[in-house]
Structure 1
Amino acid sequence: MSKIEEALEKATRERQGGGHEAGGVPQRSSVREAHTAVVAEVAVVNPDPLHLAENRVVVASGPSLGASDAYRQLRATLMLAADHQRLAFVVTSPLQGDGKSITTLNLGYAIAQELQLDAVVVDTDLRRPVLAKFLGIEGQRGVSDYLNDPSVTLDDVVVRLAGGPLWVSAGTVRLHNTSELLGSRRMEQFCGELRHRFPTAILLFDSPPILPAPDAMTLVQWLDGGIIVVSAGKTSRRALSDAVRQFGANRIAGVVVNRSDRSSYGYGYGYRYYYGGYGYGGEGAPTAETGEKDG
């Protein structure tokens, strides 16, 4: 059994047992300096809090709900990864419906609320873009527009969300030749410019699930690794194993186990996060669970 499969099985046992371990949130080893590159003035949008709550973007709602705390614990682990210059991640899943898009948005909000670290969330699920809908900001241009029109600039497709250092690129145009576009030099240029403009930010790219499409594997070549979202009680071990094999275990920074039982949290989104031992942690590295040990 792989470490990721062991992590999923462990989360399932804990979901059934309901146990929690106490722990403190790890402190960052250093406070990041301000941007060294100038971020141009971009449009600022203010999503409706009620709309966010209805779409399960729970971290933005303010109160420390159980699910919000889980995302903040996940954020703490990614902050440690950022200290090692791993800043840009594909967020994907084995199959559709595992919660990857909601995870991406909530994690982005959790990172931004730290205030020491900016976050940029990019909708690169060009086949089924949903982030704009979840945020209630339809009508914005996104990565599809950037890839299809050489005259479109980064400033045209990125907006800042009011209330924190969180930027998003969330268009609504659906495309079909997505793998070719995500593997193009234009996409490489987009990722490079995003890194240059946001040199200290965590970059999260919501991408299509692994098994139905090659997009996530294509996109990760421009980034630092992948975060795999699985749904406890829904994602089969076979689907997870196939996804890990196709994506490449050495590219996986961690796995988020979406605890889908609705009795745990009001929004039905409890999470465990396992990090290390899959790729960046190295062979035989311990599997740390920030939801328990770090927060």
Structure 2
Amino acid sequence: LVGFFVNTLVLRTDTGGDPSFRELLRRAQKTDLAAWAHQDMPFDRLVEVLNPERSASRHPLFQVMLTVGQSLGAAAPELDSLETSLVIPELRIAKFDLTFGFQERSSGDGDPAGFDIVAEYATDLYDARTVRAVLDRLTRLLTAVAETPDTPIGELDVLAADERRQLDTWAGPRTRAPQLSLDQLFSGKAAATPDAVALVHEEQRITYAELDIWSNRLARHLTARGVTPGSLVAIHLERSPLLIASLLAVLKAGAGYTLLDP
């Protein structure tokens, strides 16, 4: 047979217990070696046997690809009567949502000299600025674990100082958490300012009183249909004021909700 044969290994790494990076490497090594023992299993056959739930929006088994390549040398081949140079072709299509390619780099005498990292990404999911930020955080993480490999991974910070300041700005000053639930806070606000605008959707302006009435009616309906505290209610609605009223109604009935994508 003639062709380009690459078999994909689907890997899962257990991060439970907040291990150190050194311990995480041991776990990853164990998982990888176990997977390599079955590397001749065709990936298509694996998908056929597992038969995962299919979705047009994502790969069924993994969304991030990692490749590691050894250094092939930086010198172009020498051919009689020809001038040669190395050229990396530019790809216009991303095979997966996100791919990280690690290429080992060697010094002139052949000693290891680090890695080059290339990211390939689907442009309908990411833009260049986002992927650059991800690469910066990955580099920051790798630098940290190389310096302190025994630090628990939960204590490793991937954010730059300006990103951390931005998060603090978005979060605002810390305050004591309210004792009331979300639906109780809303009901209190509706009682205090019933005519104030609670929701704006396109040309609609919904007051707190209107939203409170809608959600109360639906909450009573849910309760009559058997929804009790601890129940889980599926909500299947497009984005609209009725969606917000439904969320509040479920909470007022004492239940939890899960949103279904229309």
TM-score normalised according to structure 2 size? 0.20
Rg (Cα) greater in structure:
2
Which structure ranks higher in relative contact order (CA pairs < 8 Å, sequence separation ≥ 6)?
A: 1
